[in-house]
Structures are given as structure tokens and as C-alpha cells.
A and B are shown apart, each in its own frame.
Chain A
């Protein structure tokens, strides 16, 4: 049983939470400019690491807020909890964020370009 520390409600059993999958997947703002392969890459391809993983969680049976977590998918250790919309501060979290293939992906470039315009 994971014990997850909700940033507002404190440590709670994993049964109170809903899993939100991988964190920091930038949504393309101009999807029609992506090729089918680039769109499939954004939509379907998974990071799925064995080790440090940046993921989203929602305290579904509590305050219902979203937050992010740095968790090891092999040991299940939760290394850091950080606010949604921000970046991890732990060494492992920063490394996982910077090393992720999503940083160089067409989808993320597209998201940056689109948001730069607006």
C-alpha cells in the first residue's frame, strides 16, 4: 500500500487517490501541424521507465486536487511531491525531467511554439 502525501491533506492511503499517468506531457497547441507519426508519438508512445518516474496523482477521495510525484517504479519509493504546474526540485526528479525524450519531441516543440504566439 503506497502512502502518498497529499500536499493539502497529508499522508493518505493510495486507495484515496487516482493515478494520472505521466507528468509533463505538453499538449500540442497546433495539432494539425504535426504529422501522423508525430501525433502518434505524442498520443501513444510511453516513457514507462523502470526507475525514477514523474507522474500525476489526484486525491480523488479527499480534496480532489491534482499534484505531481517523483516515484521509483521499481521500489515504489516516493521521492518528491510537487505542485502541478511546477517542476521537480529533487536531484532525481530534475534528472528525469531533463533526460526525458519528451523534451525534444515534436509535440513539445509544437506546444512551445503555439504558446509563444499567444
Chain B
């Protein structure tokens, strides 16, 4: 497995780097001289690899294919605009504190890539290791927590248990009084976790991939997947047929639709996941706090908005919206745990389509169709894995077999029974 290093910059075409110097230089001509961050090419008739889905995972895959595996003729086909799906709709949380060894491997792989990714891509991802705290609200959760912390630390990943007093010190706005319906009894904290600006991740990978020669083709919807003699031959799109012997599908909530185009079925249910931001205020919380019991997590963006997330709506949906009861439930929890929030206005709510898997773990897999690969099933937890997911998926596509990190996530696991049940670590209701 190839680990990306700083030497990757040499592979890129000579596009001007972002720096304080380029900022100063361009200020002299009123910033009218900046180049497009990525081209808008016409799709070529053929590529070495086609990635369906221009979200963070898909763009990362394309970048690693081109920069690490020498597969230069790569196209990313995106039906609307890049990062317009779940990549632009998540609550930007990054962490690697999962229970099982297989999960620790992939999420920690991602986290290690996050550390240094802004430099690697020469794009400010606003990656902030402000820590992620998960609260425990009952005797059971406290016991479960110590088991988790032990498992996390045995995998060499940072995690510390906190008392309510320590939590109060870290999060001054939290109410730790024992009279709460779900009182804070403790929590566990990963300092190296935090947030990043989700749009920037799509743009950063797009710019870097484009520099490596990847064609990013937006407004190009895949309408069919062609195969012959059990192997993929290309994709039919709204902008014509594109020939390729390697097709990687990274379409999150729409994965089932793509799979059906190839005559395949997936164990994925698409559900709404909502999020909301408050009006912007001065900084009042400088970490991320999650709570399984009350299905609510909170952080504060650099713009000052409090960012809230919750559990999925219960029913299947492709509408990119959910219903009010989830928001009401979320805000009831928020107001109880962080009373200051009761004074704030909700500024905006929105939703995405999460592809939930029966074991709340992703699918990174070859398929019965040779050359067709799927990366999906990340459910409510895909954003944090973006670099790791793209990295191992590129490896899978290039080598036609999964590396050690991706291997547990095959479709076969649903037949063999080797499920990786991460419902507890997902932090939200599935």
C-alpha cells in the first residue's frame, strides 16, 4: 500500500500554489488573475477509470488514483455540482473512536491523512483538531464507554475518560446537574478529532485531482452501466457514452440506483439525515460534543453558527429533507443540555440522503461484474472517512483487490456473517 508523501506535488502540473505570496501578488491586480481551480472539460470517449459521484469520497478516489497509482486518464462524473450531496450537507465531524479493530483501522487511517491534508492539497480545509467528546448518560453507557475506551486505546488511538467536572471545564455551556432527564455522568474524549470545512474538502480534492489531469465532469448524470462478458465496459451518461474498463461508484444514498443499472442489489436503505445551524454568535463552544442517548451533537463553525445534528428520520427517502419531529426532538435535547441555546434562532435546516447498512459499516468492494467497484454504505458517518475512503478505494480500483484496511468491508460479509456492528459508535439513530 502506497502512503501519500510530500513528493506527490512533483506529479502535478504547474498550477500556481496558494500561499501568502500568491495572495499578495494577486492583490496587486485586484485578484482578477486567479486561474480556475479546476477545468470544465468535455468528457473524453474513453478513460482508464471512471468515478461515478463527485462528492468528497469520489474526488479523493480520483486524486489518489492519479497521484499515487499512475492512472492518469481518470474522469469523475457528477450529476449536479461537486460536493452538492452529502459532502455539502454533513455536520463536519471528524474522529476515529470506533469500537472494532476493522473500524479503528479505516477511520484512523483517514484521521492520519487529515493531519497534513491541507498542506498536501495546498488548500485550506480548515481542519481543526478541537477534540470530540461523547457523553455517557446512564450506568449502562458508562460501562459501555469504558469498554470502548479500552478498545480504542488498544488500537493505539487517543481516547480519555472524563468526569462531569472535567466536561464542565471543557464545555462551559453544558448543564451537568444530576436533575436532567438524561444527566451527564461522564464522557470520553478524542483530542485529535474535530472538524473541517466540508465544502473545502470537495474543492481541495477537486483542485488537486484536476492538477493531476483528472477530468471533473459536472452536470453529467450516469443513466446506465454497460457490461459485456461479465466485465464493465463503460457508463452511459446524459453527455454520451464513456468507455472504461474500471468504474468506481461512490454515490452514497443513490448507490442502490447505480447498482440496479448493473443488475446488482445492495443491503442499503436510503434515509433522510437532517442538520441545522443557529444564527451566528460569538464563540461559546470550542469542541464537538456528541450524545447517543439524546441523539444530538453540537459544535460551532468558524462563522459562529452552532451546528447541530441528530438521528435519521425513520423512513426511506430520496428527497433530501426530513420532518419536523426530528428537529424538535434534537432541539429539546439541545436546550436541556445547553440552556444558553434556548435564546438562539434556528437559521437554516436541511437534509441529505444517507445510505445506511445493516451493520452501520461501509461497503468497499469488488462486485460480480469485473472492473465495477462500489464504495458506499457510510450512512451517517462518511465525512470523517473521506481521505481514508478515497485512498483505499483508489487502491482497490488500481489493484483490483482490496488492501488490508478495505478487505473487511466487502459485500461478501453479508453472506459470511462477518458483520462489523458499529451502531453504538455511529452516535446517531439508524
Interface residues of A (CB under 8 A from B): 1-2, 13-15, 18-19, 21, 36-37, 39-41, 43-46, 48-50, 53, 55, 71, 73-76, 101
Contacts and interface: CB of A to CB of B under 8 A. Distances in A.
A40 B314 contact: no
Nearest to A45: B265
B325 A15 contact: yes
A40 B418 CA distance: 12
A70 to B, nearest CB: 13
Given A46-B267, A73-B316, A73-B317, 13 more contacts: A13-B325, A37-B415, A39-B415, A43-B414, A44-B358, A45-B414, A48-B268, A48-B316, A50-B318, A71-B315, A73-B315, A73-B319, A74-B319
B288 to A, nearest CB: 28
A50 B252 CA distance: 13
B263 to A, nearest CB: 10
Contacts of B267: 44-46
Given A15-B325, A44-B267, A50-B254, A36 B315 contact: no
B262 interface: no
B257 interface: yes
A96 to B, nearest CB: 13
- Secondary structure at the B interface, as helix, strand, loop or mixed, is loop
Nearest to B317: A73
B219 interface: no
B403 interface: no
Interface string B233-277: 000000000000000000000101100000001111110000000
Interface residues of B, number: 23
A6 to B, nearest CB: 15
19 contacts: A1-B324, A18-B314, A21-B269, A36-B416, A40-B414, A41-B265, A43-B414, A45-B265, A46-B266, A46-B267, A48-B269, A48-B316, A53-B316, A55-B315, A71-B315, A73-B317, A73-B319, A74-B319, A75-B319
A20 B323 CA distance: 17
Interface string B388-422: 00000000000000000000000000111100000
Which 10 pairs of residues, A with B, have the shortest CB-CB distance? Answer: A44-B267, A19-B314, A40-B415, A50-B318, A48-B256, A15-B325, A44-B414, A45-B265, A40-B414, A19-B315
Contact of A55 (B256, B316, B417): B316
A45 B316 CA distance: 14
B325 A14 contact: yes
Interface in B318-366: 318-319, 323-325, 358
Contacts of A19: 314-315
A43 B415 CA distance: 10
